[in-house]
A and B are shown apart, each in its own frame.
Chain A
């Protein structure tokens, strides 16, 4: 177990350095003259230039200088100091205000996934090849095939504007009801995947030997399903849901942008639109870290739940 965690941790550290290096190299390195870029069209005095060169270690050139500044960026990133956006706000402050909203949205999406996806998946798995099973399979294929940029605006138009079942946009202080429709849209993709995963897993376990044993002992079907099958079937589903929570938090760019929800994805959306380079890089760096850490946690959790994984 310890060896597994250690190996997984080393892998994550490697991935962390790899991604942040790419992000850094693309965004900051290779600019012509960063000091002039900062000042725009205005002239830069010698004193200002000397100060900024010293402050950002721009005098170190070549590969050594690049890595020096990369580690500087990394140090700031780990300390939570993400610098300022082009509008002059601290990116850390923007993120601090945005996180709670994004987490709330992700949790709603997760609840939708668990309540509808897993339940329907269990039913479909038990009644394999029945009407319910076939119709959910077709439906999930439809959901999996329709991109969010189609689903989100159409849901907004039909459910929000035309039939007015939900508020079409969320606004500054979104309540639970306003977040419900975006949550369903955001969760629909993971709902479809969770449904299919649960269905396959339940159908597979229903054929297992221990189910036959339980049945021949004379147990009622409800007990077989709820105690024996469900417990074993939910292991891969739990893993998937864990990975998905990380995905949902970093994947809400379109949904938050369309429904005007002031979360992390919305700020990224706006940063891209307004060409706010530092804001985009700051948010992407943080989201990548969130994504990597959540993947790690899930992998370790998986190893705890299923001992077979540890000895690969």
Chain B
């Protein structure tokens, strides 16, 4: 990844120089930069970062205001239009039930992003608490929490989610949505917790922590004001990538028929429905597939790019 970026970045820079005809600004290079500043400088030149960021913003806008992207109602389904070609705003035609394929894909962004973002937030909260406690206090607390992490990490995510979600018998949309979020978070927090734990262990050995302790700061203050800000950056990177995989997991569960259920509009449900009738018409399968794949890719590439920028060692 990183090599591609550097090559692309230099090319990009060379091209820009060629256009503007002026050399780079040497004055900026002399000033010592912070880690974040350094990372931002790297990111700014990375085309992959900009592409994935654009995609993420686009999907977020789709989730927030879907009517901006399509004038059609995704639930306005008429069987007489079954598998009809493109017409009147329905760019990709109609699916088996006679619903607008494109409108359904646009409206599907909301459920996916909601599940992805909220599970990532919940995951982050659990991971921060567990990782902080284990890393900061060490000793038996660390031993117990680390074993818990080992056990949860040993549980295959999809299988456990299937068992957990089978217990949710309600068909209420919102309850199912939160059940999926909760299940993904409960099973998915371990990687982030390990990352937080190791960065807390590094941070607590630093001089500024000793200085704060000597000034009389309590455990709570040290954890909140001094260690947390330093443990946050790696956690955010892990969570960005996790957000992408949570979206994929939600779609997979909905595809299997145990995640979200109709009338909630979800890409996973639509992919499953399109799959059954792919011999008659492939667009109802291809369109939500493309939306899902691009969204997941965007988050994974974004996280990847940020991690490369923050951690040049990995190159």
Which residues of A are at the interface with B, using a C-beta cutoff of 8 A?
A: 11-12, 14-15, 18-19, 22-23, 26-27, 128-129, 133-134, 137-138, 141-142, 144-150, 153-154, 156-157, 161-162, 247, 250-251, 253-254, 257-258, 268-269, 272-273, 277, 280-281, 284, 287-288, 291-292, 295
Contact = CB atoms under 8 A, between A and B. Distances in A.
Nearest to A140: B1
Contact of A145 (B255, B289, B297): B297
A141 B301 CA distance: 8
10 contacts: A26-B164, A141-B300, A146-B297, A154-B289, A251-B158, A272-B162, A272-B258, A280-B166, A284-B163, A287-B156
Contact of B289 (A19, A153, A277, A288): A153
B300 A137 contact: no
B85 to A, nearest CB: 18
B271 interface: yes
Contacts of A277: 166
Contacts, number: 129
B56 to A, nearest CB: 13
Nearest to B155: A19
Contacts of A272: 162, 166, 256-258
B163 A137 contact: no
Among A14, A15, A19, A153, residue most surrounded by chain B Cβ atoms (within 10 Å): A153
A150 B282 CA distance: 13
Among B258, B272, B278, residue most surrounded by chain A Cβ atoms (within 10 Å): B278
A288 B251 CA distance: 22
A230 B167 CA distance: 49
Contacts of B248: 147, 149
B293 interface: yes
B292 interface: yes
A109 to B, nearest CB: 16
A35 to B, nearest CB: 19
Contacts of A258: 275
B150 A146 contact: no
A193 to B, nearest CB: 13
B30 to A, nearest CB: 29
Question: Which 7 A-B residue pairs are closest in the complex by CB-CB distance?
Answer: A145-B297, A147-B248, A129-B3, A150-B289, A134-B4, A15-B154, A153-B275
Interface string B236-258: 00000000100010011001111
B68 interface: no
Interface of B: 1, 3-4, 7, 147, 150-151, 154-156, 158-160, 162-164, 166-167, 244, 248, 251-252, 255-258, 268, 271-272, 274-275, 278-279, 282, 285-286, 289, 292-293, 296-297, 300-301, 304
B167 to A, nearest CB: 5
B159 A250 contact: yes
A27 B275 CA distance: 30
A157 B278 contact: yes
B163 A26 contact: yes
A157 B297 contact: no
B285 A284 contact: no
A137 B289 contact: no
B158 A15 contact: no
Contact of A284 (B162, B258, B282, B292): B162
A135 to B, nearest CB: 9
A144 B304 CA distance: 12
A273 B257 contact: yes
Contacts of B1: 137, 141
Given A26-B163, A146-B293, 11 more contacts: A11-B150, A15-B155, A23-B163, A137-B4, A145-B296, A149-B292, A154-B285, A162-B282, A281-B163, A287-B159, A292-B154
Given A150-B289, A150-B292, A284 B150 contact: no
Given A15-B154, A147-B251, A288-B155, A253 B296 contact: no
A269 B256 contact: yes
Contact of B278 (A141, A153, A291): A153
A141 B304 contact: yes
A149 B271 CA distance: 8
A199 to B, nearest CB: 10
Nearest to B256: A272
B255 A250 contact: no
Contacts of B160: 19, 22
Contacts of A19: 151, 154-155, 160
Nearest to A254: B252
B26 to A, nearest CB: 27
Given A133-B3, A280-B166, A145 B301 contact: yes
B296 A153 contact: no
B304 A254 contact: no
A142 B278 contact: no
A288 B300 CA distance: 28
B159 A284 contact: yes
Contact of B252 (A128, A142, A148, A250): A148
A143 B256 CA distance: 21
Contact of A157 (B150, B251, B285, B301): B285
B282 A157 contact: yes
B297 A142 contact: yes
Nearest to B150: A11
A238 to B, nearest CB: 20
Contact of A137 (B3, B155, B258, B278): B3
Contacts of A146: 293, 296-297
A292 B248 CA distance: 24
Contacts of A257: 256
A129 B9 CA distance: 13
Contacts of A273: 256-257
A27 B268 contact: no
